[in-house]
């Protein structure tokens, strides 16, 4: 993929696979489907930080938060509905904490993207992922004194989930760029 | 000259933006209506699972549906007031979340008391859709395409009900009954988030309504609205008899096999959905919506009278049922336009809430009435009584039309519906 494709759009969003007016619907569908796939494969290790970066790069903060909340809802629906998570207070509270962490990661990613210059999008996305993932893990860690599970915060597990997020971010950015390439309206913009 | 040339693309772009917003609003509200009808069918589709899990009979399960219907019926009008007062958008989003959460809660904690409580909550959530959706559509759709907008909205509801059995069967097979409840419930909040993401507008503050502060003060319980509520009640009874008891009546009184009776009903319901879409175009072509409804229902009554009085050959029976279904669908957008035209500016939520109560009353009365008819072994009268209610509907539609025309000549209200 040519890095020149990853240039900011006219409205300032880092990723613009579709026209601005369709971006919320596209983002919602992309992350809902991605989260469904990830939830079946990874359950509670779903790469929410990657989703947060994609949403923040495509949308203003408020719709980005809504879109990530939608992805979280898909994750929890699949967890309790299809993967048969235990129905107890601890599991439900962990679900809520994951949701809060995903929203915090979205806010952090959005802040990083706004603070950094418009050029060099791949690097900026990487920094946004570092910021988002850091906040995500911190929120989860902050819940462990109340909900348990501090033993899972080993360097191996945290870095493994981090690499999963990197892989998903690369995949999702690639998906956005493919959509942009096949989207006639966006091709027109690029030509002009 | 250069200025004029510069303005034209700008005007075209603004027109395109308005069209885009209307398209988005119609799509979003129609998806919400889809959820409404999908959720209505979730509990009945899970009756075998619920019966086994809860160890109760069909009477107890039926009671949950009664609780749903009563809760929905009692709250439509107050919810309409809230939609006008607090904003239809907010009420719609709350309804989607409440309905979804009640199903999720039932999936997480399944017991008979929980079923009854959640059925009541689901009924309450279900009461938001008509007042809130129609208030938003009334405020934001292009006047020239309002009939088609109402028809697409109504069709989405039909579609939600039509696909619910297949979706629920798939969910039960894939995840079990508990999972099916959770997944079906999650659709509600998910669609609420989707509506927030695409930026669905509110009815309050739109150009066609009065200010939010003034709207709730208007008295909407006028004779015209009461007549429309009765119109909805009669409509509901005449249609529900065929939809709910058509199969048993055809089998019991006409010697139809189970598959033929089901095919006839499927044709009726499918043609009805197609009729809804066709009715949208018709509603945009005329302002005499009462007369459209009256003519369609008069023809419909004639067809059903033939079905009631004669033992038609199977092909003719299915064809007649299809035509009757199509005509009953055609009147739906006209019906909604009649309500809209009767609603004072800024009071669409309350008016649609009040008249939809007629539907709920019909939903409670018709099973008792037609069940009583079938218990007396009078299957022909399922169609006969439907004809009687259709004739009453025709008369009422004409009366409503005459009142509306008289109201227009006496007091023009250009601001309400330009």
Asked if B237 contacts B365 with a C-beta cutoff of 8 angstroms, the reply is yes
Mean pLDDT for chain A overall: 88
Interface of A with B in 67-106 (CB under 8 A): 67, 69-70, 73-74, 76-77, 80-82, 84, 87
Rounded to whole angstroms, the Cα distance separating B197 from B188 reads 14
pLDDT over threshold 60, residue B6: no
Contact B190 A66 (CB under 8 A): no
Contacting residues for B287 by C-beta, under 8 A, at least 6 apart: none
Within 8 A of B179 by CB-CB distance, chain A residues are: 80-82, 84
Most B CBs within 10 Å, among A61, A81, A99, to test the B interface: A81
Do the chains contact at B109 and A69, CB–CB below 8 Å?
no
**Per-residue CA distances from A47 to A14, A96, A110, B194 (Å):** 20, 16, 17, 21
Whether residue A166 is predicted with pLDDT greater than 60 in this model: the reply is yes
Over range B103-119, report the average pLDDT. Answer: 95
Element (H, E) at B241: helix B223-254
Q: Percent of chain B scored above 70 by pLDDT?
A: 90
Give the chain A residue nearest B186 (alpha carbons): A77
Compute the average pLDDT of residues B395-407: 74
Q: Report chain A residues whose CB lies below 8 A from the CB of B108.
A: 80, 87
Angstroms from A66 CA to nearest CA on chain B:
6
CB B120 within 8 A of CB B97: no
The residue to which tokens 């969910």 are assigned: B171
CA–CA distance, B208 with B344 (Å, rounded to integer): 11
Confidence at B244, pLDDT banded by 50, 70, 90: confident
In a domain, A36, yes or no: yes
Q: How many CB atoms lie within 10 A of CB A94?
A: 19
Mark yes or no for CB contact B186/A77 under 8 Å. yes
Inter-chain CB pairs, A–B, below 8 Å? 58
Alpha-carbon gap: A30 to the closest alpha carbon of chain B (Å): 12
Rama region for A85: left / alpha / beta (φ>0; ψ in -120 to 50; rest):
beta
- For the four alpha carbons of A11, A12, A17 and A22, in that order, the dihedral sign comes to negative
Q: Per residue in B156-176, pLDDT tens?
A: 998 898 888 889 999 999 999
In chain B, which residues have their Cβ closer than 8 Å to the Cβ of A28? 193-194, 197-198
Chain B residues with CB under 8 Å of A70 CB are 190, 193-194, 197
What pLDDT shows up at residue A12? 64
**How many domains does the structure of chain A reveal?**
1
Q: A154: distance to nearest CA of chain B, Å?
A: 32
pLDDT at A175 over 90: yes
Q: Give the domain range for residue A135.
A: 16-183
Residue among B171, B195, B176 at smallest CA distance from B27: B195
Check if A66 contacts B (Cβ < 8 Å): yes
CA B388 – CA A100 distance, rounded (Å): 58
A32-36, B18-22, B76-80, B290-294: which range is least confident on average?
B18-22
**Sign of dihedral through CA atoms A142, A144, A149, A151?**
positive
Summarised one tens digit per residue, pLDDT across range B115-150 is 999 999 999 999 999 999 999 999 888 888 899 999
Neighbours of B179 (CB within 10 A): 20
More confident residue, B10 or A91: A91
Are B101 and B185 spatial neighbours (Cβ–Cβ below 8 Å)? yes
Residue A126 covered by a domain? yes
Q: Is residue A147 part of a domain?
A: yes
Whether ipTM > 0.90 holds is no
- As a residue count, chain B comes to 418
pTM of the model as a whole: 0.84
Query: What pLDDT was estimated at residue B144?
Result: 86
Answer for the pair A75, A111: CB distance below 8 angstroms, yes or no.
Answer: no
Is residue A11 one of the residues assigned to a domain? no
pLDDT digits (tens, 9 = 90+) for A40-81: 887 768 899 999 999 999 999 999 999 999 999 999 999 999
pLDDT at residue B210, as a whole number? 46
pLDDT at B7 over 70: no
Judged on CB neighbours under 10 Å (0-12, 13-18, 19+), A144 is middle
| Cβ contacts of B197 on chain A, cutoff 8 Å | 24-25, 27-28, 63, 66-67, 70
Q: What is the dihedral of CA B122, B127, B128, B129, to 10 degrees?
A: 100
Residue from the list B183, B189, B197 with its beta carbon closest to the beta carbon of A25: B197
The better pLDDT of the pair B362, A188 is held by B362
pLDDT digits (tens, 9 = 90+) for B30-42: 999 999 999 998 9
Looking at the predicted structure, is the pLDDT value of residue A192 above 50?
A: no
Q: What is the DSSP letter of B378?
A: -
Q: Is the pLDDT of residue A162 over 90?
A: yes
Band of residue A2 on the pLDDT scale cut at 50, 70, 90: very low
Share of chain B above pLDDT 90, in %: 41
The residues in A 34-63 lying below 8 A from B, measured between CB atoms, are 63
Higher pLDDT, A171 or A13: A171
Q: Which of B75, B198, B178 is nearest to B128 (CA)?
A: B75
Query: Among candidates B345, B374, B393, which has minimal Cα distance to B216?
Result: B345
Give the one of A66, A82, A84 whose C-beta lies nearest to B193's C-beta. Answer: A66
Alpha helix (H) residue ranges in B127-145:
129-140
Task: Answer yes or no: is A132 within a domain.
Answer: yes
- Residues whose CB falls within 8 Å of the CB of residue B193, separated by 6 or more in sequence, listed in order: A28, A66, A67, A69, A70, A73
pLDDT at residue number A120: 67
- How far is B252 from B255, CA to CA, in rounded Å? 6
* Nearest chain B CA: its distance from A29 CA (Å): 9
B359/B236 Cα distance (integer angstroms): 5
Residue A82 and residue B174: Cβ atoms within 8 Å?
Answer: yes
At A151 the pLDDT is 87
Q: What is the CATH number of the domain that holds A150?
A: 1.10.1760
- Residue B170 near chain A (CB below 8 Å): no
Q: How confident is the model at residue A11 (pLDDT cuts 50, 70, 90)?
A: low
Is the pLDDT reported for residue B368 higher than 90? Answer: no
> What pLDDT sits at residue B215?
53
Instruction: Name the average pLDDT for chain B.
Output: 86
Domains of chain B: 14-198 (1.20.1250.20), 218-409 (1.20.1250.20)
Q: What is the C-alpha to C-alpha distance for residues A144 and B314, in angstroms, rounded to an integer?
A: 69
Q: Could you tell me if residue A108 is inside a domain? A: yes
Quick check: is A9 in a domain? Answer: no
Q: Give the pLDDT confidence score for residue B407 in this predicted structure.
A: 61
Interface check for B190 against chain A (CB to CB < 8 A): the answer is yes
With respect to residue A190, please indicate whether it lies within any of the assigned structural domains: no
Among B49, B40, B44, B34, smallest CA distance to B179 is for B49
Residues whose CB is less than 8 angstroms from the CB of residue B319 and which lie 6 or more positions away in sequence, other chains included: none
């Amino acid at each position: 993929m040519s890095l020149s494709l990853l240039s900011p759009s006219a409205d300032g969003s880092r990723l613009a696979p579709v026209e601005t007016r369709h971006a919320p619907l596209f983002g919602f569908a992309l992350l809902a489907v991605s989260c469904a796939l990830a939830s079946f494969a990874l359950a509670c290790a779903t790469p929410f930080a990657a989703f947060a970066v994609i949403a923040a790069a495509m949308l203003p903060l408020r719709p980005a938060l809504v879109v990530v909340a939608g992805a979280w809802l898909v994750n929890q629906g699949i967890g309790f509905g299809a993967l048969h998570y235990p129905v107890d207070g601890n599991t439900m509270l962990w679900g809520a904490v994951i949701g809060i962490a995903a929203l915090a990661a979205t806010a952090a990613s959005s802040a990083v993207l706004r603070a950094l210059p418009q050029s060099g999008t791949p690097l900026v996305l990487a920094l946004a992922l570092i910021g988002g993932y850091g906040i995500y893990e911190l929120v989860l860690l902050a819940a462990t004194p109340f909900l348990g599970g501090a033993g899972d915060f080993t360097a191996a597990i945290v870095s493994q989930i981090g690499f999963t997020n990197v892989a998903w971010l690369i995949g999702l950015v690639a998906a956005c760029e493919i959509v942009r390439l096949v989207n006639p309206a966006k091709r027109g913009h690029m030509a002009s | 000259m250069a200025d004029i040339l510069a303005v034209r693309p700008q005007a075209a772009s603004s027109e395109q933006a308005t069209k885009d917003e209307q398209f988005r609003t119609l799509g979003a509200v129609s998806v919400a209506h889809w959820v409404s009808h999908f959720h209505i069918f979730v509990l009945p589709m899970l009756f075998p699972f619920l019966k086994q899990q809860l160890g109760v009979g069909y009477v107890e399960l039926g009671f949950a549906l009664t609780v749903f219907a009563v809760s929905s019926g009692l709250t439509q009008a107050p919810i309409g007031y809230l939609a006008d007062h607090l904003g239809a958008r907010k009420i719609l989003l709350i309804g989607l979340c409440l309905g979804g959460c009640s199903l999720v809660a039932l999936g997480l904690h399944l017991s008979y008391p929980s079923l009854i409580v959640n059925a009541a909550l689901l009924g309450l959530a279900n009461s938001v859709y008509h007042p809130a959706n129609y208030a938003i559509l009334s405020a934001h759709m292009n006047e020239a395409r309002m009939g088609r907008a109402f028809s697409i909205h109504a069709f989405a509801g039909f579609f939600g009900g039509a696909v619910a059995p297949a979706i629920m069967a798939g969910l039960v097979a894939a995840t079990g009954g508990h999972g099916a409840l959770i997944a079906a419930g999650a659709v509600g909040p998910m669609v609420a988030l989707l509506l927030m993401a695409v930026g669905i507008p509110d009815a309050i503050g739109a150009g066609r309504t009065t200010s939010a502060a003034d709207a709730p003060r208007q008295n909407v319980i006028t004779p015209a609205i009461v007549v429309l509520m009765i119109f909805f009640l009669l409509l509901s009874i005449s249609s529900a008899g065929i939809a709910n008891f058509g199969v048993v009546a055809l089998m019991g009184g006409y010697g139809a096999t189970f598959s033929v009776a089901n095919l006839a009903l499927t044709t009726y319901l499918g043609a009805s959905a197609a009729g809804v879409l066709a009715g949208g175009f018709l509603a945009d072509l005329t302002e005499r919506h009462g007369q459209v409804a009256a003519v369609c229902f008069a023809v419909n009554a004639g067809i059903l009278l033939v079905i009631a009085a004669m033992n038609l050959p199977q092909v003719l029976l299915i064809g007649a049922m299809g035509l009757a279904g199509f005509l009953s669908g055609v009147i739906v957008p006209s019906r909604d336009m009649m309500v809209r035209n009767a609603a004072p500016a800024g009071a669409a939520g309350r008016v649609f809430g009040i008249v939809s109560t007629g539907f709920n009353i019909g939903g409670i009365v018709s099973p008792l009435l037609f069940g009583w008819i079938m218990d007396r072994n009078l299957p022909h009268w399922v169609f006969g009584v439907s004809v009687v209610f259709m004739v009453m509907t025709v008369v009422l539609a004409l009366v409503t039309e005459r009142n509306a025309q008289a109201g227009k000549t006496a007091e023009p209200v250009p601001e309400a519906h330009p």
